[in-house]
Amino acid sequence: MRVVLAVTFVSLAFTYFELDIVRAEEKSCKQVMADLTKRQLGGISACGKSLKFKNGKDKAKKMNCILKCVMTNEKVLNAEGYFDATQLDALIIKEFPPYLHEKANASFMPCSEKGATIDPNPETDEFCKSYDPFIKCLLGSLPTLCG
């Protein structure tokens, strides 16, 4: 009896994961972007709270630091704050359905050059300004992805 229950459970688990994969592959580009945007907004809120700014002006000055935090949490940047193209590729594979991988790579990979100029040291880049070109590139490439 236990064997039958275990086999049934394993079968249900595989069915669940297969359905999850199918659902991800069936998502439209706009749905993928909507899901990512929703998650990013949550990340911005969480990072804004965790960075404990002095006031609204300080928070506005350090908006790139908030986005750096979000990108680190999403694994676009490594733990030290550097950009690593292999991490972005892994994120694309994880988050985008296979039919969008090539287009996502074409949209985001040109930003790699700008990611190479990042200075993750808060002592030399207190306002995370070195992240600005990279952030603008990534955000600028989003409309081309589904357009």
The pTM (predicted TM-score) of the whole model is 0.77
The pair phi, psi for residue 10, each rounded to 5°, is -60, -40
Helix runs in 96-146, H state only: 98-108, 112-115, 132-146
Residue 89 one-letter amino acid: D
Domain segments of the chain as ranges: 29-146
**Alpha carbons 11 and 18: distance in angstroms, whole number:** 10
User: pLDDT digit string (tens) for 50-89?
Assistant: 998 889 898 999 999 999 999 999 999 999 999 988 988 9
Q: Is the CATH number of domain 29-146 1.10.10?
A: no
Mean pLDDT of 110-128: 92
